[in-house]
Structure 1
Amino acid sequence: MRVTHATVVDGGVCTVRLAGDVDMAEAEAVTEWLRAAIDSSGCEAVEVDLADTRFLDSLGIAVLVRAHEHARVQGVRLRFVNVQPWVRRVFQVAGVADHLDLS
């Protein structure tokens, strides 16, 4: 399933809702959407809503970790919200859960 996104800016918080599969086929698009939210939205914080994320492969994990690091360097707080239990487990198994802001 292709991944889609919706971006909403509310005050200083930009929410990017990802729906579908965050995988090798969609990595470039997800990277572009998250970088735009971090670099161009003017938001102090970016929330990545994973409620409708259906699949996450190793490249998808890497994209999200790189976005988190890019946001940190830019001085923007990036949080992952509505993290489903299976997504949290994937982050734990990959060894990145403790390095990300998950809620």
Structure 2
Amino acid sequence: MKIIGRQDGDAVRVALTGELDLASSDEVRSYIEQALATTHPARVLVDMDGVAFCDSTGIEALIRARATAVAQGARLELVNVHGIARTTLEITGVLPLFS
């Protein structure tokens, strides 16, 4: 998993490339939580354009990161979600949590 973050106005944009699965989910969650702790953004935009696959551990990581964001008064939104990652998030019913 490749993770690139940058400040984007009142938001932090976190671009992911690779597979969001057991091997990378802790790293992604930690990165997002660290960004929340250090920059205190109003929103975290997780750009999933480069995510080829997302499994249940990836979904859990996103849900946990969202909970951290909400606890800090921020929002976590997923952008550019497509392909199998989008299908997985839709089937599990969690995609609306991130819009």
Whether TM exceeds 0.5 here: the answer is yes
Q: CA RMSD in A?
A: 1.2
Instruction: Please name the residue that 2:63 is paired with.
Output: 65
TM-score, length basis structure 1: 0.88
Match of 2:28 in 1: 30
Gapped runs of 5+ residues in structure 1?
Answer: none
1:25 counterpart SS class: coil
Deviation of residue 21 (structure 1)? Answer: 0.7
CA distance in 2, matches of 1:33, 1:19: 14
> Deviations along 1:22-58, whole A, 9 cap, x unmatched?
1101121111111012221231111000000011111
Contact 2:3 2:16 in 1 (8 A): yes
Moved >3 Å (runs of 4+) = none
How much identity, in percent, do the aligned residues show?
31
Number of matched pairs: 99
Shift of 1:86: 2.9
Amino acid across the alignment from 2:85: V
